[in-house]
Structure 1
Amino acid sequence: MALSVSTLDRLSSLERFVEEWPGPLGILLYVSEHDAYHNLDFIIRSSAILSRKDIVRRLDVHLVYKRDGHNPINYMRNVLLNNSFADYNFYIDIDLIPNKGAYRSLQNMIKSNGNSIFLLPAFKSEIYLDEKLFPKNKGELLKLIEKGSVNGIGVKSGWKLGHQPTNYSRWLTATEPYRAVFKDAFEPYVVAPKWLWARFNEDLMERMGDKIAYARLLHGLGFEFWVAPNDFIIHLPHILSAGTKKYGLYPDMYRCGSVLFEKYRTDLNLLFPNVTF
C-alpha cells in the first residue's frame, strides 16, 4: 500500500499518482478547518479521482487539521501507517510518480525476500512530464536521462548525500535487484513490512531530516536496502512548499531542527551501540 501526505493544492499530483499506481493508496490531506468545512466536500465530489469506482475502491483518505505554523510530517506518516490495512507499505511523497509497472514489480520482490527493505530509485525531472511524456518503462527513462531531461536526484548538482547510495550508475545497466550499501544521510523512499512496526520520529517536523532518521532506524534494526532494477519514481517540478520557504525565513527553525535531528542520532547510538550511523 502506498502511503502519502498531501495538501489541497497538490491534488493534481494525486490524480497523476493513482493513474500509474494500480494498488491501494492511503492519502492524508493536511488541511485547515476552514478548508475542510468550506472547500473539501466540493473538491472531493468534483475530483476526477472519486468519479471513478476503480480508484475509490483502493483509496483510503484521512484528514489532519492544521493547528499551528509547523508541519507535523512524521506524525501524519504515522497516522497513515497506524491505519494501513496492508502487510507492506510504500512511503512516498505525492509529487513523486512511479512507473506503471512498479506496483507489480514490488509485489514480486516481496514474495522472493519479504525480510528486506525495498526501494525505487528516485529521479528528478528538469521538465514537466505530462501523461504522454512520462516514461512507461526503464528503456524510455534511459532515453530521457541521455537527453539530460531527467537525472538521479543529486546527480546533476554533485550532491553526495541523500540518494547516492542507490548507486545510479549501477542501476542504468542492472537487470536484477541489488543491495544499496547504507551511508549516513541516505533518504530512500522505501517499502517496509508493517509488522516491523518502526515508527517515524514525531519530534522531527517540516524538513528536519525525517526520511534520513527513518533510514537510520531501519539500518540500526539490521535491514538491508534492495533496489528494484527496472522501476523508478520521478519527482515532478512544483512550487516550493511552505515548509521549505520557512527554512530561509526563520533560521532559528533550522537550528532547532538540527538539535532535534542530532539528538535522535544520539538516541539511536545508545539503542544500537554496535551500529555506525
Structure 2
Amino acid sequence: MSGVPVSFRLRRVWWSAKTSPFPVTIFTTATLDRLDMLETQCKSYPGGPHAAAVYVPLVQEHGGELTIPNEQLIALAESRVQALFDRMEGIVNACHMHVLLLYEVTSDPALAHLTPINGLRNAALLAVRTPLLVMVDVDLCVSASLVRFLSEPSNGDKLVASSSNTFWVLPAWDVSAGLSRVEIDHIAESALAGDKMTLAKLWASGRLHWFGQLYFQLGHAPTNYTRWLLSRKSYLIDYSIGYEPWGILSRDRQVVVPYDARFRGCYNDKITQVVTLHHSRILFRALPNAWVVHRPHTLNPAAGIAKNRTGSTTSLTGVGSLSEVVSMYGKNASKFEHHKDWSHVLLDDSIVRMLAARYRPFPGRAYAYCRSVLPWMENLKRQNLISGDGTRRRRLRGR
C-alpha cells in the first residue's frame, strides 16, 4: 500500500490576514477527526505562523467527477475548516493559520485509511514563508518557553544565523495514557507552561514520559533527556538509526530534502526523513529551553492495528478494510501487513542508496512541480541545489 503515488486535489486555501515577527513556522497535517487537535496546537503558538494540510479521503469507483455523496462530504469538510479558521482569526492569542484543504479519490477503502502523511507534510511545507520551520505532528503542542524565546527579536536572529546546517531538536514529552481526560489536559498544560523543574517532577511522578520511552526508545533516546534537563546550553546529539525527533530547521534545507511521499500510514515515514537529513550532513543539536508535549488520544485505524489497540480507534470500518487478506508478491496477508512490509522495504532501500551516494528524494510529482514554479525557490536554483524542474540537483552524500 505504501508506494502508491499520491494524487491530491486542492479544494481551497485559507490564509491568515495577520502578520507575525516570528522567524519559525509550524507546519503539520490533519484529518477531519483531528481538527480539535489542530485548534489546540494553534492556541499553543500565539502570534506564530502556522501552516496545515488537512486531508479528506473519498472512496468511489471512478476517478472523474465526484459523486453527489462525496461532493457533499468535501463541502462539509470545507465548512468545518472555515469555522476553525474563523475562530482562530478571531482569537488574539492564537497562531496565524494557513490551511490547505486537500482530498484524494480512491476506489480502495483500505487505502483511504492509510493517510499519505509525507505527501501532506510536503504540501504544508510549501506554504511556509519564514526562514525557519518546524514540522510538529498535530497531536503535539509547543512550550510557552519557545514562544517567549521567539518573542525576543535578537533570539530569532541568532537562531536563523545558526541554522544553515543545524537541526534544533525540540525534546518531546508524552503524558501518561492511564489518566483521565481531565488529568491528561491538566498535566499537558502544566508541562507546556512550566520550566524544566516542572518537567522533571512530572517525569519522576510517572505522569510524564519522554516520547517513546515506554514503547520505542530508539526514536528519541539519542536526545538524552537526563542530560537535557540538567543542561543550560545546547549540545550535539549523536545520531543513530531509528531517531525521529521534532525540531527547527532552515526552510531552504528542508525544501531541498523533502519528505518521501511514497510513505503512507504509520511506518518509517519520519525515520526515513531524519536519516535523509543525517546523510545530507545536517547536525542535530538539542535546543535547551523549548520542547513539545503529546497528549494521548484515540488512534487512527492503521495505528490501532500497529499497536494492537483496535478497540480504541477512530474507525472500526477502517480496521476491517485494512484487515482484508489479499495475495501480493506471492504472500497471503492483510492489506495492513503488506503495507507494513513495503514500508520496511522502502526504508531499507533508501538507506542502501544513501550509503552508495545514489539516493534521490521522492517528494511526488505535484511537489516537484510546485517547487519548480514558486518564486522563492529561485535562490535555490541559482545555488544549483535544485534544477529548473524542481528535482534535487545533487545526490546526497554519505559520511
TM-score (norm 2): 0.63
Q: Which amino acid aligns with 1:63?
A: L
Q: Where does structure 1 lack aligned partners over 5 or more consecutive residues?
A: none
Q: Distance in 2 between matches of 1:15 and 1:98?
A: 13
Residues 234/108 of structure 1: CA separation in 2 closer, same or farther (3 Å cut): farther
Equivalence for 1:67: 105
Taking the aligned partners of 1:13 and 1:208, their CA distance within structure 2 comes to: 21
How many Å separate the matches in 2 of 1:261 and 1:132?
36
1:203 correspondence with 2:252? no
Q: State which of 224, 236, 249 in structure 2 corresponds to 1:167.
A: 224
Deviation at 1:129, TM superposition (A): 2.0
Q: Identity over the aligned pairs, expressed in percent?
A: 22
Q: How many Å separate the matches in 1 of 2:227 and 2:95?
A: 38
Unaligned runs of 5+ in 2: 1-24, 58-69, 151-155, 309-322, 324-335, 358-395
Query: How many residues of Structure 1 are paired with residues of Structure 2 in the alignment?
Result: 274
- Counterpart of 2:43 in structure 1 is 19
Which has the larger displacement, 257-266 or 36-45? 36-45
Aligned to 2:185: 129
SS in 2 for 1:3: strand
**Contact conserved, 2:53 with 2:100, CA < 8 A, in 1?**
yes
| Contact residue 44 and residue 144 of structure 2 kept, 8 A | yes
Instruction: Check the 8 A contact 2:200/2:229 in 1, yes or no.
Output: yes
Cα-Cα RMSD: 2.4
- 1:174 and 1:144 mapped to 2: Cα distance? 18
Q: Residues 40-78 of structure 1: CA distance to partner in whole angstroms, max 9, x if unpaired? A: 314532667335154788211001103232321111111
How far did 1:92 drift?
A: 0.9
Distance 1:140 1:56 in 2: 24
How far did residue 218 of structure 1 move? Answer: 1.0
Give me the whole-angstrom Cα distance separating, in 2, the residues matched to 1:83 and 1:133: 31
Do the aligned partners of 1:208 and 1:261 also contact (CA within 8 Å) in 2? no
Distance 1:241 1:7 in 2: 10
- Which residue, out of 85, 90, 93, partners 1:52? 90
1:31 aligns with 2:56: yes
Decide whether the 8 Å contact of 2:88 with 2:95 is kept in 1. no
Range that drifts further, 35-44 or 137-146:
35-44
Normalised TM-score (structure 1):
0.89
Higher relative contact order (CA 8 A, sep 6+): 1
In the alignment, is residue 232 of structure 1 matched against residue 282 of structure 2? no
Match of 1:144 in 2: 202
Q: In structure 2, how many angstroms separate the alpha carbons of the residues matched to 1:143 and 1:234?
A: 15
Partners of 1:13 and 1:103 lie apart in 2 by 19
CA displacement 1:219-251 (0-9 Å, x = unmatched):
111111111112211110101112313546321
Spell out, residue by residue over 1:110-147, the C-alpha distance to the aligned partner (whole angstroms, 9 max, x if none): 14512211110011101412475444122322221121
Match of 1:185, SS state, is: coil
By how many angstroms is 1:155 displaced?
A: 2.4
The letter for the 1-side match of 2:116 is P
Please tell me whether the aligned partners of residues 165 and 183 of structure 1 are also in contact (alpha carbons under 8 angstroms). yes
Give secondary structure in 2 for the equivalent of 1:172: helix
Question: 2:238 and 2:147 mapped to 1: Cα distance?
Answer: 23
Give the letter aligned to residue 50 of structure 1.
M
Deviation at residue 177 of structure 1 after TM alignment: 1.1
What letter corresponds to residue 58 of structure 1 in structure 2? Answer: H
- 1:221 aligns with 280
Cα distance change, pair 109–96 in 1 and its aligned pair in 2 (3 A): farther
Q: 1:270 aligns with which of 341, 348, 356?
A: 356
| Rg (Cα) greater in structure | 2
